[in-house]
Amino acid sequence: MSDLFDQTLLADEHHPPAERVGRAARRDRAARKRRRRRRTAIAVTLSVLLVAALAIGGFMVLRPLFDGREAASTEDFAGPGSGSVSVVIAEGATGAAMGDALVAAGVVASRQAFVEAFTANPDAAQIQPGTYSLMTEMRAEDAVSALLNPANKSELRITVPEGWRASQIFERIASVAQIPVEEVEAAAQDRAAIGLPEQAADNPEGWFAATTYILEPDADATEILAAMVEQTKRTLERYGVPAEDQHDVLTKASIIEHEVNRDEDRGKVARVLENRLANCSGDGLIGMDSTINYGVGRSGGVPERSELNNAENPYNTRIHAGLPPTPIGAPGAAAIEAVLEPPEGDWCYFVTVDLDSGETRFTGDYSEHLRNQELFRQWLANNPTEEDEG
């Protein structure tokens, strides 16, 4: 028997059997804990490996998509481009949205190439919404520059001068938009389609605001007229004109446009209108030649004696008291403002004494007014027209 064997026996002799059993149980528990820890570690390791495998697998599946998008994002045409295509840039479009529209139209090769060119150009934020005529297969940098060039913008620009009557506006629309004038006239009769409010008269005169309109090149007659009516409504709203006063305000403003030769006289003419309507002349008549001219289909000039005495003309304000039935033309914002805020003054009469300079005399005294009229007659005598000379 070896020494080792002897020592083991001796060691067992010094410990009771119960103690030896307890020690063995503790060794078993420790062994079980070690096995559980190993199993947990193995499970965690397997979970990590599984997640990693899934991630790698997903990346491998999606990688072609990312690789393809990355390749497309840097693609750019060599330029300079060719042909022509129309592209619509929407209101409030971002550089990315513009890029999408240009890619769809074949103007640029990729959205990202355009976005990078857009970001690099400090003026790019000034690109306006609208329809543009561009070449296909342009460099992204050139496409940004083209959108900043007004010459490439396809638009319908219609200017309505102050005082123009509806018939003149219809003809301008027909000429610029290449629409038959009959179609424009028919569109003007559809009150709901062009947005005429209830307070507007049957005749839409005066509701087509005098200003410049920039519209899409394919706008039809209804869209054009609706834009003009909307402009008038916005102006009246901006000045806080109640609906029940809008007809009269537009009528007065339209008269001012025809009676004023100088901007500084708008307010005075507006005050004369108010004083006349308040019966400063004693007859309740505003007596404006411009309204008589409208009633006979003329946009300017001095009415003839027979026209002054024609009671069948509802716009003859030398015979019919108060304002005419409707406005007599397109008022601008300045005339509307003059109507709403006329200066103080006792002026009841005015007459332009020089048609070349536009000099106009205002007075509250009728005798002085007669003298001013004589000055005008003298001017006419000294400045005969070709018709007078003939």
Examine the pLDDT at 42 and tell me if it is beyond 60: no
By CB atoms closer than 10 A (0-12, 13-18, 19+), residue 230 is middle
Examine the pLDDT at 58 and tell me if it is beyond 70: no
Examine the pLDDT at 385 and tell me if it is beyond 50: yes
Note the pLDDT tens digit of each residue in 312-335: 999 999 999 999 999 999 999 999
By CB atoms closer than 10 A (0-12, 13-18, 19+), residue 87 is buried
User: Which tokens go with 31?
Assistant: 């062994």
Bridge partners of residue 87, in order along the sequence: 132
Q: Place 69 in a pLDDT band, splitting at 50, 70 and 90.
A: very low
Domains of the chain from N-terminus onward: 82-154 (3.30.1490.480), 156-238 (no CATH), 259-389 (no CATH)
Examine the pLDDT at 56 and tell me if it is beyond 80: no
**DSSP β-ladder status, 153-154 and 349-352:** unpaired
Examine the pLDDT at 310 and tell me if it is beyond 80: yes
Burial 77-86 (b: 16+ CB within 10 A, else e): beeebeeeee
Q: Is 86:131 a contact under the CB 8 Å cutoff?
A: yes
Note the pLDDT tens digit of each residue in 195-209: 999 999 888 999 999
Give the mean model confidence (pLDDT) for residues 265-290.
95
Examine the pLDDT at 33 and tell me if it is beyond 50: yes
Q: Is 338:271 a contact under the CB 8 Å cutoff?
A: no
The pTM is what?
0.69
Give me the pLDDT at residue 338, please: 97
User: Which tokens go with 354?
Assistant: 């020089």
**DSSP β-ladder status, 212-215 and 349-352:** unpaired
Give the mean model confidence (pLDDT) for residues 267-279.
96
